[in-house]
Amino acid sequence: MDFTIPDDLAEFRKVVRRFVDNELLPYEDHVEEHDGLPEEVERSIKKKAVEIGLNAIGMPEEVGGAGLDVLGQVLVTEELFRALGGLAEVVPTAPSILLACDDAQRERFLLPCVTGDKQWCFALTEPDTGSDAAGIKTRAERRDGSWVINGRKRFISHGDSADFAIVFAVTHPDREKDRITAFLVERGTPGFAVGQTHKTMGHRGYRQAELVFDDCVVPAENVLGEPGHGFDIAHGGLSSGRVMTAARCLGPMARLIDEGVEWAKQRVQFGRPIADYQAIQFMLADCATDLQAARMLTYSAAWAADQGEAAKIVSAKASVAKLFASEALGRVADRVLQIFGGTGYMNETYVERAYRNARIERIWEGTSEIQRIIIARNLLKRGMFA
């Protein structure tokens, strides 16, 4: 495996680091206190992100994206998520599923997401279905040439502010497969409403909302892909989503370790910096080991995807990376908070915020238990993957 970073990407990482330091970190206190940014600040951040080419980094260049390969996306994401998630998520993105848009849909949905002019949300999870995505109960029926959607979605990131939702609904309930269709449902469509906005444990500014569909009429031209094949076009993004979740864990780990090292050097107890004590040194060493292992697993999964390895192998490696990195972040946050002692328990510290934020990484994009199932099934069917 060759993880050599090209010169242009190394320079871009430096640009992203400056962007994070200058445009994101100064607003962390505001996001924590107000659960969001002023509209003018958010617009300014999006504009500057587009100016430096940080928007839609995984999208092909022909649609306005940066065209980075998966490993490149991982490296940039690692830098970006040194900032709190509620700020890093302000940077415009476009999900790979939107590449299934036809020409008209590209103009209305894909391209405005790439430029930051529109916000999307991914509406799959429901009150009774989380990990069991195939068990969704939202239905869509054909009526007079359109589709009528009924159901509820919850825990939808950006659901309260999105310009449109990518909604998954059962359209062919009598089939064993090819049952679910993806729809592009625009804000303001009659019968589509935002319900409860959930208060969460962490990630202030990255809000989760409930979406309600009550006889919501969606024109046939808003079907994404082919009817009944919603999961087909979504499935290709699952592995990359897990790899990017792992990448989002690397930035916080690195920042936590940096802060833990600095605190240990300056905090004096019993006449000596606590960095002199072996108990503290061991915690820092374990943190560094967790970060290095998480990086290598994440880079390896990304490299496998870029090399075109078999989808099942990439899926297994992505699950390993997501499982390890998300759990490693929890361990690192816990150790660094212990190093900080009572100070780390205070809300104004990054350590306390990172500790709260870390917990969701073991849940979304597939829980740790789901990742273990995927890994074990691959192991039992194919043996240990290379």
Query: Strand 164-170 to strand 120-123: parallel, antiparallel, or no bridges (unpaired)?
Result: parallel
Is residue 97 a contact partner of residue 234, using CB atoms and an 8 Å limit?
yes
Mark whether 62 is an active-site residue.
no
Distance CA 333, CA 230 (A): 37
Q: 61, 327, 365, 369: which is the annotated catalytic residue?
A: 365
Phi-psi region of 318 (alpha: psi -120 to 50; beta: other; left: phi over 0): alpha
- Closest C-alpha to 280, from 314, 118, 288, 128: 288
3-state secondary structure 50-99: HHCCCCCCCCCHHHCCCCCCHHHHHHHHHHHCCCCHHHHCCCCCCCHHHH
**Lookup: tokens for 30:** 């505001």
* Residues, the chain: 386
Is residue 128 a contact partner of residue 137, using CB atoms and an 8 Å limit?
yes
Which of the residues are catalytic?
Answer: 365
